[in-house]
Amino acid sequence: MSRTHVPWRPASLSEFIGQEPAKQRLSMRVRADIAQCTPLPHMLLYGPPGTGKTTLAELLAHERGCPMMPTTGYKLQKRTDVWMLLKGLPLDGFRREDERLVRIPGIPTKPVILFVDEIQGISNEAAELLYRPLEDAVWPCTATMNGVRDQFIYWDLPPFTLIGATTDAGDLPQPLVDRLKTHIYMEPYTPDEMRRITASHAAKAVERAEEIACENSGTTFYPRIWNESAIEAISIRSRSTPRIAASLVAEVASWAVVERASVVGTVLVDRVMAALGIDECGLGELDRRIMRTLAAVGKPVGIEALAAMLHDTRNNIVMAERYLMSLEAIHRTARGRELTNKGTGMVARWGGGRGDDGAEDTIGDLTLLREMVAMIDDDDDEFEAPAVITAAAAKDPWAAARDPNPTPMPGSM
């Protein structure tokens, strides 16, 4: 991304738009921990991608006045991975005497925040090794002490807070979830919140462009005004996701620079969205291919069959269908996902099996599609147990994953 399109990021929790219940809860906890000189509790931030989990973790570190060490769950696979991460914790305010840590009087401590993005990627072995450090801030190990080899000891760790972020909380080991005491679900953003977020990104784009124009003696052209109607049009197409809003603002700003448009309006936004293949509901090409395929098959389709038919990855389809479910265009059953009446109407308005350019859609022959559905074994479908998962039930994917009385899958009896 060019320097002109540096996305807007809040500088404090008060500037963070949306997630009001979580913000109030975390703000009170930060103030209490500062007053008591204690680290924040271990946390789990979960929700759809692009909803601000990383930004929220960064703001917590800023508000608490402590450093943040980022990593990802996929980098924590072996014992050495976990040990190297914990070994790197700073000893601010402490000195080490063998396995023990001794507090240094007069030097303030700064409990570090370990931010583990995509924490669902952590291996079971690595997760188990984190249990004792999370509970007691010690690392169980063996060492040579006073000439005695292989003596079991507890290696003291400095105070720290682990914040895990994930889009798939149901994939985490339950003992690890239990040790992350504070659970924050990133709520869907309201239309008003998305308008404010989009306007903030547009204002940041203008601000950065002005700085670059000053550096170039005012010779750089940039859009100076974003109409409210243009901001509204972008926010509607952002799928209730701040990250997508930032990306679309950057794209529109680039077009405005090329076309030397000093004012960004809906005409320019609509032209950019058409070029990107994004309709007025925020649906992209993959969304339309999913819905046309379901309409052509005419019965519930499992995730593996759908991925095979569309020549796309399972993860991309899962991400896309979450938004389609929020629009109530599709729903999931124990047999797979299928179109709702609303979704069927949307496909009919698009012109059936033809693409946006009028060409025949690429989903293939109907007979072949139905044969593929019958042939592909889809027993490992994700969270397929409840009879019907609608938009309301899909709000928290973790709850679906932990259904204590799942409906048996067909053929499992």
Does 378 participate in catalysis according to the annotation?
no
Catalytic residue among 4, 33, 51, 54: 54
CB 296 within 8 A of CB 275: no
**Cα separations (Å) of 263 from 139, 238, 244?**
59, 21, 22
Does 293 participate in catalysis according to the annotation?
no
Catalytic residue among 167, 241, 293, 340: 167
Chain mean position to CA 305: 25
Catalytic residue among 64, 195, 243, 337: 243
Q: Which residues pair with 162 in a beta bridge?
A: 114
- Angle at CA 269, nearest 5°, toward 266 and 271? 110
Please name the residue that has the structure tokens 């350019």. Answer: 357
Catalytic residue among 33, 117, 287, 378: 117
**Cα separations (Å) of 57 from 46, 127, 161?**
12, 20, 11
Does 117 participate in catalysis according to the annotation?
yes
Please name the residue that has the structure tokens 């219940």. Answer: 21
Catalytic residue among 4, 33, 53, 195: 53
How far is residue 234's CA from residue 271's CA, in Å, rounded to a whole number? Answer: 12
Compute the CA torsion angle 126, 129, 130, 132 (nearest 10 deg).
170
Q: How many CA atoms does the CB half-sphere of 44 hold within 13 Å?
A: 25
Does 53 participate in catalysis according to the annotation?
yes
- Angle at CA 73, nearest 5°, toward 69 and 75? 80
Does 167 participate in catalysis according to the annotation?
yes
Which pair of tokens denotes residue 156? Answer: 């003291």
How far is residue 112's CA from residue 66's CA, in Å, rounded to a whole number? Answer: 6
Please name the residue that has the structure tokens 């601010």. Answer: 92
Residues with a catalytic annotation lie at 53-54, 117, 167, 243
